[in-house]
Structure 1
Amino acid sequence: MSKLEVLYEDNHLIAVCKRATVLVQGDRTEDKPLVEIVKEYIKEKYKKPGDVFLGVIHRLDRPVGGVVVFARTSKALARMNALFQEKKIQKTYWAIVEQTLPTENGKLVHFLKKNQEKNRSRAYDKEVKGSKRSELDFKLLGRSKNYFYVEVYPKTGRHHQIRVQLSHIGCPIKGDIKYGGKRTNKDGSIHLFGRSIEFIHPVKKEPIKITATPPQSDPLWKELTNLSMG
């Protein structure tokens, strides 16, 4: 339980920092998912008998770390799902990419088509059959010797959206060989991180911003964190 980094907690919601390579929900690998780890934490902390309710509101790809919010009640789950559907949730991501962006800040609009069998998506400049419009804003935060630090604000929530759109403009994310990265990261992660999430609390009706810090043992993440604080 000590490995779980809790970022926010009340009677309605709990937000944690997902470590890269951990699943949010179970799959055929049968690796222990984050939802079960959080359930165990709640059960132990509050001495709850029986099953613990925990609603999955959103997900991060397995190789991606960052903020994940769960609902502790069915009411909170329904209301958070509605906020997502109404696009009243603001997410911010950090990405470390291998090539510089076309401009220091801007917008990307593509049409993404998912290949279910291969679990990957492809971006098109124009709409094709079965594609969905995908939009994000970006801002260049700085650079290291070999990489570029980018803040990303997705406006839609498509499958692998940030990874695909950045790759499509020639800026693959470090470690993301699925979408054009030069080589894998040793730990199986990619350098994409769910930095923060903002919304109006579904029950308390007050503005909430939950922020996570990427692993400071990684020199690139550490440099980007320091850069953002400066």
Structure 2
Amino acid sequence: MIPFKILFQDENFFAIDKPAGFFVHPPELSPYPVPREKICLYHLRKHFNQEVFPVHRLDAPTSGVLLFATSRDSARELNRLFAERKMQKTYQAVVRGFVEDEGRIELPLEINDGKEIVEASTLYKRLGAVELPFPVGKKYPTARYSWVEVQPVTGRWHQIRRHFDRIAHPLLGDIDHGDSHHNRFFRDHLGIKGLCLKATSLRMISPWSQQEVTIQADPCEKWDRIQKLFSQQS
């Protein structure tokens, strides 16, 4: 029994609903050993009794739709869709502060340990906003947050997390790029733990059937809490 749900499956590829805390494959640079029970590939290869191939990645703390191919040829075809930007990925996130109703972040990002700078583009629209009467961090008398839908146009490492941090709206629960005061407030006061980033859907035209395929992640308790929080205000 695998510890996550298979959202879509055909003979060429499948998608799972990855829980937060799971790695796609064994991390190369982890300072501590990761048990195989927390590695998606271990469970999937055992479940299908065959080799499977990750087509893209989600960070360990990010949950949601994750795509795998059932053969190298299928993986190559799906990677082509990503390279040609014909794979539409949609995320939801919670960020510090009030963002504009919609926007586009066009900021180059570093890759290869900062040795190379590449273009990076992220679209977003605000789904909701809330202002809470708590002086988190003691700089402002209230705490403001935005719930956003995000579509990365490019696919850089930690792109969404780094882009929102660069415009002074870091994601809640982001240990690497976020605000520790607000992270603690969300965890301890609101009971919303971990990174507030979820890959909610993926859309493409299947190279095999030529039909549109839309795969959506299931609702979960954490994001139900987030939706309830933002239902207080609009």
Q: 1:60 to 1:30 in 2, by over 3 A?
A: same
How far residue 87 of structure 1 moved from its aligned partner, in angstroms, is: 1.0
- 1:112 and 2:106 aligned: no
Q: 1:12 to 1:115 in 2, by over 3 A?
A: closer
Q: 1:111 to 1:99 in 2, by over 3 A?
A: same
Q: Quick one: distance in 2 between partners of 1:208 and 1:224?
A: 31
| Equivalent of 1:100 in 91, 98, 102 | 98
> How big is each residue's C-alpha offset from its partner over 1:169-193, in whole Å with a ceiling of 9 and x where there is no partner?
1111111131122335589730011
1:26 maps to amino acid: P
How far residue 154 of structure 1 moved from its aligned partner, in angstroms, is: 0.6
Partner of 2:57: 59
- 1:143 and 2:129 aligned: yes
- 1:89 and 2:93 aligned: no
TM-score by length of 1: 0.81
TM-score by length of 2: 0.80
- 1:72 and 2:70 aligned: yes
2:172 maps to amino acid: K
Partner of 2:41: 35
Aligned length: 207
> How big is each residue's C-alpha offset from its partner over 1:15-70, in whole Å with a ceiling of 9 and x where there is no partner?
00110111011125232211121222223xxxxxxxx1201100001111010010
Partner of 2:137: none
Kindly indicate whether the alpha-carbon contact (under 8 Å) linking 1:23 and 1:31 is maintained by their aligned counterparts in 2. Answer: no
> Could you say what secondary structure the match of 2:119 adopts?
strand
How far residue 12 of structure 1 moved from its aligned partner, in angstroms, is: 1.1
> Could you say what secondary structure the match of 1:59 adopts?
coil
Structure 2: stretches of 5+ with no match in the other structure: 133-144
Q: Please give the residue correspondences for 1:1-230 in structure 2 after superposition, counting only pairs within 5 Å.
A: 1=1, 3-27=3-27, 28=30, 29-32=33-36, 33-43=39-49, 52-101=50-99, 103-114=100-111, 116=113, 130-146=116-132, 147-182=145-180, 183=183, 185=187, 189-217=194-222, 219-223=224-228
1:132 maps to amino acid: V
Q: Quick one: distance in 1 between partners of 2:231 and 2:46?
A: 33
> How big is each residue's C-alpha offset from its partner over 1:89-118, in whole Å with a ceiling of 9 and x where there is no partner?
0000100112111x21011100101363xx
> Could you say what secondary structure the match of 1:178 adopts?
coil
How far residue 197 of structure 1 moved from its aligned partner, in angstroms, is: 0.6
1:114 maps to amino acid: I
> Could you say what secondary structure the match of 1:131 adopts?
strand
Kindly indicate whether the alpha-carbon contact (under 8 Å) linking 1:63 and 1:189 is maintained by their aligned counterparts in 2. Answer: yes
Which stretch of structure 1 is more off in the superposition, 188-197 or 159-168?
Answer: 188-197
Kindly indicate whether the alpha-carbon contact (under 8 Å) linking 2:130 and 2:230 is maintained by their aligned counterparts in 1. Answer: no
Runs in 1 of length 4+ with deviation above 6 angstroms?
A: 224-227
